[in-house]
C-alpha cells in the first residue's frame, strides 16, 4: 500500500495534455446588475485536492484565487436583485412565460459551449472523476431542458379558465421575489442549478453564491449569465458565508432561501431573517442513510449496490449509504465479497481512466476520517480491508470498519467520506430503532427478497424517510422523482416538477360568472391587455 501511495500523485508531465492547467486563475470578477465587476479587495486562495510531485516532494496544487467580497458588496448584489424584481413589477417577473423560456434557452446554449472548461475545473477543484464530471455537466443541461418542458406543460394547463360554483377563475403560478441560491461542493454545478434555474424561470430574481469548493468552475458561465438575462435578474457573489450571506439574510430582503449544506448552517442563517414568515426555504441538508441487509438476500447485488452507494465520489454524496446494518447470518459472506470488490476500485487522479477513488477537497478531512477510524478501533472495531484508512496528503484509502456499535462516533456522525461502517445485527428491531431515533430522514436502502419482511419494513419506514430503495443504493435521480427528507435532512421537496412550485405561488383571478364580467375578460384577452389573463399557450 505504501508503494501504491508513493505513486498516487503524478508529476506535472504525467497529466494528460487535455487536462493540464495553465497559469493560476486569478478571478476578481463578480456579477452584479448585469455587469462583471472587478473586486479589488482580498482574495481567497483556491486549492486543488490534487497534489503534484515536484523535486522529490508532493505539493498541493494552487488553482488560483477568488474574490472575498465584504458584506456591503454582497448587499449591492441583493439590491440589484431587489430592483430588478421591483416589488413584482420588474420586466422579469411580469414577462410572459414564453419569453422567459427564451432567455433560459439562450443561457443553455451558451452554457453548453463551456462544457470542457467546466468539466476540467470540476476535476481539479473537487476531485470528481472525468466520467462523473461529464455526467454532472450533462445531467444539469438535461435538467434545464426538462424544466423548460415542465413549465410549458404547466403553462398550458394554466391557460384555461375554470368554472366552480358560479365563479370563473384563472390560476397561474407567480414568482415569490428575490431568491438566494447556494449549492454544495460535491455537486457545485448540478445541485445549485436545480434551484437556480427553477427560481429564475418562474420569474424570481436571484443572488447566487457558489459552494465552498467548485468556485472557479462558475467563472466560465458568468458571461453567459450576464448576456442571457436582463440586468439584475441573476447576480453572482463570492466570499465567506459568514460575511456575505449573513448580511443578505439579516437585511430581510430575501424571499426564498435555497440552500444545500448542513442543517446547522441553514438554521443559523434562517434565524437571521427578521421576517421568518415571509421567507420560504428549500433546503437539502445532512443525512445518514442506512443500508439494511436482510438474511434472505441476493448478496452479490447487495454488495454491488452497497459498495457504489457508500463509495461513489468517495462517499461525498448526501445520498451516500453512510452505515450498513448486515444480518449476522450473512455478514461474513457480505464482508468477504465487499472487501474483494473494494480492492478492485481503482485509486488515482480524476482523469485516470476507470478511476473510482480520488483525493478529497476539504482541508482537514483526512484528519477527521482518521479520528473516526481511531475512535471506532479504540472501541473494538477493526479495519478489515488491506490498506484501509491509509492516507497521503488529501487522499484517504477507504476503510471498511467492523463491527461497529452504538458507542462509536461513526455510528452517529455523517462521515461524508470513504469510511464504511458495518453493524452486525440479529434482531431487526434494533435497526428499526436506529431509523426511528435518527436525527436524519432522507433515504434508506433495503436489501432482501422475502416479500413479507420487505412489505412490513416498507410500511414501518414510509413515515421515517423520503425514499425507500429496494435492492438498490440511495440516490437522488431520476430528477423527475421527488427528492426530499424528514427531520434534519431537508425542507421542501425538489424534482423537475416540484421545483417550479417551490419557487412560485398559485395566484387566482376570479369573478362571478356574469355577462358583464365575461365580456370584460374576453376583451382583455382579445386585446392582449394582460400577460396573466391570457389563453395563449406555448407549444
Ligand atoms: O449530495 C447529494 C446529491 O443530491 C446526491 O445526488 O444521488 O444523484 O448522487 P445523487
**Cα-to-centroid distance, 334 and ligand 1 (Å):** 25
For residue 536, the model assigns a pLDDT of: 87
Q: Is residue 60 part of a domain?
A: no
* Bond from prior residue into 478 cis (ω within 30 degrees of 0): yes
Q: 302 and 192 in one domain?
A: no
Q: 365 and 237 in one domain?
A: no
**Cα-to-centroid distance, 467 and ligand 1 (Å):** 13
Q: 265 and 166 in one domain?
A: yes
Residue 223's CB is within 10 A of a number of other CB atoms, namely 14
Q: 393 and 336 in one domain?
A: yes
Q: 397 and 369 in one domain?
A: yes
Q: Is residue 18 part of a domain?
A: no
**Cα-to-centroid distance, 187 and ligand 1 (Å):** 8
For atom 2 of ligand 1, the residue with the nearest CA is 318
Q: 439 and 302 in one domain?
A: yes
Q: Is residue 521 part of a domain?
A: no
- Whether 476 is in the pocket of ligand 1, judged by its Cβ within 6 Å, is yes
Q: Is residue 404 part of a domain?
A: yes
DSSP for 340-393? HHHHTSPB--TTSTT--B----STTHHHHHHHHHHHHHHTT-EE-STTTT-EET
Mean pLDDT per segment of 10 residues, for the chain of length 539 residues? 86 96 95 98 98 94 98 98 98 96 98 98 98 98 98 93 97 98 97 98 98 97 98 98 96 98 97 96 98 98 98 98 98 98 98 98 98 98 98 98 98 98 98 98 98 98 98 97 98 97 98 98 96 88
Q: Is residue 345 part of a domain?
A: yes
Q: Which atom of ligand 1 is nearest to the CA of 483?
A: 4
Q: 200 and 170 in one domain?
A: yes
C-alpha cell at 230: 436582463
Q: Is residue 433 part of a domain?
A: yes
Tell me the C-alpha distance between 49 and 239, whole Å. Answer: 20
Whose cell is 495534455? That residue is 17
- Whether 322 is in the pocket of ligand 1, judged by its Cβ within 6 Å, is no
- The CATH number that applies at residue 462 is 3.40.309.10
- Whether 186 is in the pocket of ligand 1, judged by its Cβ within 6 Å, is yes
CA distances to 35, 329, 345, 438 from 307, rounded to whole Å, are: 46, 19, 10, 22
Strands (E), 27-186: 29-32, 35-38, 43-54, 57-67, 162-164, 167-175, 178-182
Global model pTM greater than 0.95: yes
Strands (E), 416-501: 419-425, 440-441, 443-447, 467-470, 486-487, 490-491
Residue where a domain stops, chosen among 284, 318, 339: 284
**Cα-to-centroid distance, 274 and ligand 1 (Å):** 32
For residue 528, the model assigns a pLDDT of: 94
For residue 537, the model assigns a pLDDT of: 82
- Whether 128 is in the pocket of ligand 1, judged by its Cβ within 6 Å, is no
Q: 360 and 237 in one domain?
A: no
Q: Are 369 and 396 in contact (CB under 8 A)?
A: yes
- The CATH number that applies at residue 81 is 3.40.605.10
Strands 256-260 and 35-38: unpaired
Residue where a domain stops, chosen among 234, 267, 284: 284
For residue 1, the model assigns a pLDDT of: 66
Domain range spanning residue 149? 31-38+70-284
- Whether 16 is in the pocket of ligand 1, judged by its Cβ within 6 Å, is no
For the chain, how many structural domains are there in total?
2
Residue where a domain stops, chosen among 458, 484, 510: 484
- Whether 319 is in the pocket of ligand 1, judged by its Cβ within 6 Å, is yes
Q: 386 and 245 in one domain?
A: no
- Whether 79 is in the pocket of ligand 1, judged by its Cβ within 6 Å, is no
Q: Which of 319, 465, 492 maximizes ligand 1 atoms within 8 Å of its Cβ, making it the mutation to test the pocket? A: 319
Q: 200 and 228 in one domain?
A: yes
Q: 296 and 278 in one domain?
A: no
Tell me the C-alpha distance between 216 and 485, whole Å. Answer: 30
Amino acid at each position: 500500500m505504501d508503494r501504491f501511495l508513493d505513486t498516487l500523485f503524478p508529476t506535472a508531465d504525467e497529466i494528460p495534455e487535455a487536462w493540464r492547467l495553465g497559469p493560476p486563475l486569478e478571478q476578481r470578477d463578480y456579477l452584479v446588475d448585469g455587469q462583471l465587476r472587478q473586486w479589488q479587495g482580498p482574495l481567497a486562495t483556491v486549492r486543488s485536492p490534487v497534489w503534484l510531485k515536484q523535486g522529490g516532494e508532493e505539493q498541493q496544487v494552487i488553482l488560483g484565487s477568488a474574490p472575498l467580497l465584504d458584506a456591503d458588496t454582497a448587499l449591492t448584489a441583493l439590491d440589484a436583485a431587489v430592483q430588478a424584481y421591483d416589488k413584482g413589477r420588474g420586466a422579469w417577473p411580469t414577462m410572459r412565460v414564453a419569453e422567459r423560456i427564451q432567455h433560459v434557452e439562450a443561457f443553455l446554449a451558451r452554457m453548453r459551449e463551456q462544457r470542457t472548461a467546466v468539466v476540467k475545473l470540476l476535476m481539479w477543484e473537487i476531485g470528481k472523476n472525468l466520467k462523473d464530471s461529464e455526467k454532472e455537466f450533462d445531467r444539469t443541461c438535461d435538467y434545464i431542458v426538462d424544466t423548460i418542458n415542465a413549465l410549458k406543460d404547466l403553462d398550458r394547463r394554466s391557460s384555461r379558465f375554470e368554472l366552480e360554483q358560479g365563479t370563473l377563475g384563472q390560476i397561474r403560478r407567480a414568482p415569490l421575489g428575490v431568491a438566494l441560491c447556494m449549492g454544495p461542493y460535491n455537486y457545485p454545478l448540478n445541485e445549485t442549478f436545480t434551484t437556480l434555474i427553477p427560481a429564475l424561470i418562474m420569474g424570481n430574481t436571484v443572488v447566487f453564491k457558489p459552494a465552498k469548493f467548485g468556485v472557479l468552475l462558475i467563472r466560465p458561465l458568468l458571461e453567459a449569465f450576464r448576456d442571457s438575462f436582463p440586468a439584475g435578474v441573476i447576480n453572482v457573489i463570492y466570499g465567506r458565508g459568514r460575511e456575505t450571506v449573513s448580511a443578505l439574510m439579516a437585511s430581510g430582503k430575501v424571499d426564498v432561501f435555497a440552500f444545500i449544506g448542513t442543517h446547522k448552517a441553514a438554521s443559523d442563517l434562517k434565524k437571521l431573517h427578521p421576517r421568518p414568515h415571509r421567507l420560504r426555504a428549500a433546503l437539502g441538508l445532512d443525512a445518514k442513510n442506512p443500508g439494511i441487509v436482510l438474511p434472505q438476500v441476493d448478496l452479490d447485488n447487495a454488495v454491488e449496490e452497497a459498495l457504489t452507494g457508500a463509495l461513489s465520489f468517495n462517499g461525498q454524496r448526501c445520498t451516500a449509504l453512510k452505515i450498513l446494518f448486515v444480518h449476522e447470518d450473512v455478514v461474513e459472506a457480505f464482508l468477504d465479497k465487499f472487501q474483494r470488490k473494494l480492492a478492485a476500485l481503482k485509486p488515482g487522479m480524476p482523469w485516470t481512466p476507470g478511476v473510482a477513488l480520488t483525493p478529497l477537497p476539504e482541508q482537514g478531512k483526512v484528519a477527521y476520517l482518521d479520528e473516526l477510524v481511531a475512535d471506532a478501533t479504540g472501541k473494538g472495531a477493526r479495519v478489515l480491508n488491506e490498506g484501509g484508512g491509509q492516507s497521503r496528503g488529501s487522499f484517504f484509502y477507504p476503510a471498511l470498519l467492523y463491527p461497529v456499535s452504538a458507542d462509536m462516533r461513526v455510528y452517529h456522525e455523517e462521515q461524508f467520506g470513504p469510511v464504511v461502517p458495518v453493524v452486525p445485527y440479529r434482531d431487526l428491531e434494533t435497526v428499526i430503532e436506529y431509523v426511528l431515533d435518527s436525527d436524519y430522514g432522507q433515504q434508506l436502502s433495503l436489501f432482501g427478497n422475502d416479500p413479507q419482511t420487505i412489505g412490513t419494513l416498507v410500511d414501518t419506514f414510509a413515515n421515517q424517510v423520503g425514499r425507500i430503495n429496494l435492492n438498490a443504493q440511495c440516490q437522488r435521480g431520476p430528477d423527475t422523482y421527488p427528492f426530499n427528507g424528514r427531520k434534519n435532512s431537508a425542507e421542501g421537496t425538489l424534482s423537475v416538477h416540484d421545483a417550479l412550485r417551490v419557487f412560485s405561488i398559485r395566484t387566482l383571478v376570479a369573478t362571478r360568472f356574469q355577462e358583464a364580467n365575461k365580456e370584460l375578460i374576453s376583451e382583455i384577452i382579445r386585446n392582449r391587455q394582460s400577460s396573466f389573463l391570457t389563453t395563449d399557450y406555448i407549444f
